[in-house]
Structure 1
Amino acid sequence: MTPPLFLGSEIYRGSSYGGWHPLRIPRVSTAMDLSRAMGWLPREVYLTSPRAKAKALEIWHTPEYLAALQQAETTGIATDEMKARHGLGTHANPIYPEVWRRPATAAGASLLAGELLKDGGTIYHPGGGTHHGMPDRANGFCYLNDPVLAILSLRRNGAQRIAYLDIDAHHMDGVEHAFADDPDTLLISTHEEKRWPFTGALDDAGIGQTYNLPLARNLNDSEMAHILDHLILPLIEQMAPDALVLQCGADAVEEDPLSRLTLSNNAHWAIIHALKDAAPRVLVLGGGGYNPWSVGRLWTGVWATLSGHDIPDRLPPNAQDVLRALKWDNHSRGKSPPEHWFTTLRDAPRPGPIRPETQDRVAHLAARPRFFGS
């Protein structure tokens, strides 16, 4: 069996949205460095992500928007027209030195993944997962929508039925915009209710292939396991997809500053373990996550789970060095991080009651009639 592949790039190491932005922190580079420190990322399974050309991105994004994004990188500024029409140069979507090259690299990896998975396999692309991007504008820290591009690439390379699961704390509004009316694409999103972008209501169903599950704050591991067993697995098993795309945003864990969900990273890894063989083609993307330690530890554990490595109780010194080198100076939690953020990958489990509202919402979605494409 062909081993899973890891798509990464050095562009993520030195690139930041700015010193004040939630995405000022290192994320993909930490997962790469930790995986290498653990001996889990030999050269033969690592591929450098290509940078997509603008023409290739026109399968989803408008030529005018792509030209504006490239111009913004060249000039370092966004005109009033760019801000009004394309959402560039805003507080959420600032102009920074790699504002074209960085998202084009993530998009290039997602397009390449569809090609590499033509005959089956598993690919991990933690730099992907920018699920808010719209065809003609940046949105929610996302300049391009690489999950949409991945789905289109998979379909172009032979996958007809595609399941997309998004466990980010924020709703997958851009992906839903693309595929809500596509009978051959199953969309499942678990996300915090009353959280930006304030979309993804329980009964937002497109033509019936979209399953939005808004969740109350303080979601625990037991509740996520219930969601997996009673909604996610039955839907994917019934569809029997040709390809599965999983957006594994790391912002639903307790330590993240931009959500009020309280999962441990065990919940994410349990979902990866349950679904890694659910389709002949599997693509796992990154997504949100705004605490450098929780993101790096979680995404490294995703790779361990996909590639069959045991996660030790305590990290070796060279892996601890990667985590001890991280800085989060502009946040209170970064000033006194707990010791286990340096010495472990696995969080302590966070079980709890399966609350009635969680059970009711899962049951509501599970009872909806299903009519998957042939």
Structure 2
Amino acid sequence: MTPMPIPLPRGPAPAPLFIGSEVYRGSSYGDWHPLRVPRVSTVIDLARALGWLPRADYRTSPRARPAALTAFHTPDYVAALERVEAAGWASEADRERHALGTVSNPVFPEMFRRPATGVGGAMLAGALLAQGGVVHQPGGGTHHGMPDRANGFCYLNDPVFAILALKAHGARRVAYVDIDAHPCDGVEAAFARDPEVLLISTHEAGRWPRTGALHDEGVGQVFNLPLPKFSGDDAMALARDAVILPAVQRFAPDAVVLQCGADGLREDPQARLDFSGHAHLGVLEGLRPLAPRLLVQGGGGYNPWSVGRLWTAIWGRLSGQELPDLLPPEAQAVLTALRFQAGAPSVIPPPGLIARLLDAPRPGQIEGDLRAGVQHLAGRLRAQV
């Protein structure tokens, strides 16, 4: 029997809200790291240049307190993260035990404050959604963080705290959908055995950390769908229509969290998928009516132009804006000012990454391995009815 969502009080839906922070503007993982690029600050600036982010719709993310972080992370790890930020260096013990000060998870001045702000924003989103509505938190989505260690550029796991916060504020059943190019190993570690959390992940097959195999099922509420390299918009549309939406509809969640990583876009240097922004917006539009609460987070994304454009387009769609065919000069100026140091002279993007929020659709091919994976997951869904 399909469960019924918890009813919310009647009345008009709250206006969509945007959670941001200036900590993202002033911090970087280092000049050589993939997360050296501006992302959240670009979304804020671009949305404001378009007139889409009035003060009434913006909320400043608080920073989660260390004690609150122990709802998922171990006290020793939280203490180590604070200690290494304060010292500016990681001991050999911190590197070995907690993966701090490594190539992937370097020491930088805001290495505790920045991810703690992401967790604070996720917790705030859970509270803001208590009566239903929509929240966009582009600074969220750090889905690799583990209880006792940093992992894959993620020091803390704010999607886990988003799910916990939604539950604490009345959402008994939460569907977490992750369309990042990388598997959501940290979120799966937290909830793979929780029957009241549905986990769906589409990701590039064989991409780090090489988890999220098709047959990784947890206790029956975990659906992993690896996508072949160079999959385009049609592959995501197939995943959406045959797996994501049927699974969420059957689960009947009280809340949906969509991790909307931008690293599946063609221009991203950290993956080999071939999406346009239409792939992400299609998933977003399909999920939006399926629960009274929707939180859309960021995630991966390492090309500053493509990630800024996508997450701004998502906010535009969430807030009811008409996406322009051509960006006005003020918005183009935000994108023109970005620089992407890639070890040589600054990369100058092609004009399309400056003039428009969305590229033309990129249909791509649907390979046999994907069709077989979809058939397998669709069979699991039919068996659960």
* One-letter code aligned to 2:194: D
In the alignment, is the contact (CA less than 8 A) between 2:61 and 2:121 conserved in 1? yes
Contact 1:107 1:145 in 2 (8 A): yes
Q: 1:26 aligns with which of 33, 38, 45?
A: 38
1:129 CA displacement = 0.2
- Paired with 2:239 and 2:80, the residues of 1 have a C-alpha distance of 41
* Residue identity opposite 1:172 in structure 2: C
Amino acid at match of 2:348: S
- Hey, what's the Cα distance between the residues in 2 that align with 1:17 and 1:169? 20
Instruction: Indicate conservation of the 8 Å contact 1:209/1:372, yes or no.
Output: no
Residues in 2 aligned to 1:79 and 1:62: alpha-carbon distance in whole angstroms: 18
> What corresponds to 1:182 in structure 2?
194
Which residue in 2 is equivalent to 1:321?
333
Alignment of 1:345 with 2:357, yes or no, is: yes
The reply on whether 1:138 has 2:150 as its aligned counterpart is yes
CA shift at 1:130, angstroms?
A: 0.2
State the distance in 2 between where 1:331 and 1:167 align.
29
1:118 and 1:2 mapped to 2: Cα distance? 10
- Supply the distance in 2 between the matched residues of 1:206 and 1:62 (Cα, whole angstroms): 23
Of 71, 85, 100, the match for 1:88? 100
Equivalent residue in structure 2 for 1:243, among 248, 255, 261: 255
User: Structure 1 9/372 Cα, relative in aligned 2: closer, same or farther at 3 Å?
Assistant: farther
Q: TM-score, with normalisation over the residues of structure 1?
A: 0.97
Aligned counterpart for 2:178 among listed residues 163, 166, 173: 166
Give, in whole Å, the separation in 1 of the partners of 2:223 and 2:109: 37
2:310 alignment partner in structure 1: 298
Deviation at 1:360, TM superposition (A): 1.2
**How far is the alpha carbon of 1:372 from its aligned partner?**
7.9
Contact 2:274–2:364 (CA<8 Å) still a contact in 1? no
Amino acid at match of 2:121: A
One-letter identity of the residue aligned with 2:152: G
Task: Please say if residues 208 and 370 of structure 1, whose CA atoms lie closer than 8 Å, have aligned partners that are also in contact.
Answer: no
Q: 1 CA distance for matches of 2:91 and 2:131?
A: 44
Specify every segment of 5 or more residues in structure 2 that has no aligned partner in the other structure, as ranges: 1-12
User: Where in structure 1 are there 5+ consecutive unaligned residues?
Assistant: none
Q: Which residue of 2 aligns with 1:72?
A: 84
Could you say which residue in structure 2 is the equivalent of 1:209? 221
Describe the SS at the equivalent of 1:224.
Answer: helix
CA distance in 2, matches of 1:154, 1:266: 28
Other-structure match for 2:372: 360
Corresponding position of 2:159: 147
Q: Name the structure 2 match of 1:221.
A: 233
Q: Shift of the alpha carbon at 1:331?
A: 5.8
In structure 1, what is the equivalent of residue 49 of structure 2?
Answer: 37
8 Å CA contact 2:226–2:370 kept in 1: the answer is no
- Give deviations 1:11-68, integer Å, cap 9, x for gaps: 1001000000000000000000000000000000000000000011111011111111
Contact 1:126/1:284 (8 A) holds in 2 = yes
Q: How far apart in 1 are the matches of 2:89 and 2:148?
A: 18
Q: What's the CA shift for 1:3?
A: 1.1
2:289 aligned counterpart, secondary structure: coil
Structure 1 letter corresponding to 2:173: R
1:15 matches 2:27 = yes
**Amino acid of the residue matched to residue 126 of structure 1?**
P
CA distance in structure 1 between the aligned counterparts of 2:17 and 2:381, rounded to whole angstroms? 36
Task: Note if 1:108 corresponds to 2:116.
Answer: no
Distance apart, 1:336 and its partner CA: 3.5
- Cα offset, 1:333, TM superposition: 9.9
Partner of 2:9: none
Whole-angstrom distance in 1 between the partners of 2:86 and 2:279: 42
Tell me if structure 1 keeps the 8 A contact 2:14–2:132: no
> Alignment RMSD, CA only?
1.4
Task: Check conservation: 2:339, 2:348, Cα contact below 8 A.
Answer: no
Structure 1 consecutive aligned stretches of length 4 or more whose deviation exceeds 3 Å: 331-334, 369-373
1:128 corresponds to which of 127, 140, 143: 140
Q: Distance in 1 between matches of 2:374 and 2:343?
A: 35
- Tell me by how many angstroms 1:353 deviates: 3.0
CA distance in 2, matches of 1:260, 1:332: 22
Matched positions, count: 373
Indicate if the aligned counterparts of 2:227 and 2:235 stay in contact, CA closer than 8 A: no
